[in-house]
Amino acid sequence: MKPKQSVRCVRTKGGLQGLPLLAVILLVILVACAHTEKVLVPPKIDLKTYASIGVVEFSTNAEDTLKPYVTQNFIENIQSAQPGTRLLELGNADHLLRSMGHRQLNPETIQSIGQKYKVDAIILGHLQVSTIKPKINMSTAAKSLSASAYIEAALQTRILETNSGATCWTRSNSGKTRVARLNLTEGGPYTIGVSDPKEKYGKLVPKLVYANTMDFRSRYEYRTVE
């Protein structure tokens, strides 16, 4: 008879230590397969959900000539961000309220505007402007001096739905710009030497409006995909 053979289990050196190495290899493969792609992200606020939107002329604590300038900048940015958005300009807020027989802009008034002008939402905005006084040392012999200063402004906008009068979106941002000319006279107040809002506020208003309308814009992001 042939002698009985015994079966022996041979363990490799390191035993189960080979499993972490396998996991590392798999991870390397996954990372190698993953890559970044440029993905188009839709806007946070889709204005196309509203058939028509009313725009009340923006208010401001600065001169009245600034109101249409800011309002038109906002409208242009919306049309650029979401072409085809139907906007109805409702004019000055005070005139609008008087025509509606109301004294203040409350939910009831918003609903009335929606019914009269057939708009689903209303856009309101306010530009708060403040001038930063420069620190200038004037000699006693000086009668007048021209210097530079900065204008600071904050833009706040909101959208109200006319079916309820509730605010469904709001945003605010601020910035400042250098004034081209500032006139200082002895014993008198300092004044800005320009009257045209486009010249006085330079690129400040367009920059504020562009930043304020970011939620209406689609954008690209780089994302890691497998």
Q: What is the pLDDT of residues 156-184, one digit of tens each?
A: 999 999 999 999 999 999 998 876 555 55
Instruction: Report the alpha-carbon distance of residue 124 to residue 98 in Å, rounded.
Output: 17
Answer whether CATH 1.10.287 is correct for domain 40-129+153-174+203-217.
no
Pairing mode, if any, of strands 59-60 and 121-132?
parallel
Give the model's pLDDT for residue 38. 80
Output the average pLDDT for the chain. 81
Res. 150: pLDDT tops 90: no
149-179 burial, b at 16+ Cβ within 10 Å, e below that, comes to: bebebebbbebbbbeebeeebebebeeebeb
What pTM was estimated for this model as a whole? 0.73
Give the model's pLDDT for residue 119. 97
Provide the pLDDT confidence category of residue 30 given band limits of 50, 70 and 90: low
> Which whole number is the average pLDDT over 139-166?
78
Provide the pLDDT confidence category of residue 187 given band limits of 50, 70 and 90: low
Domain ranges for the chain: 40-129+153-174+203-217
Give the model's pLDDT for residue 176. 86
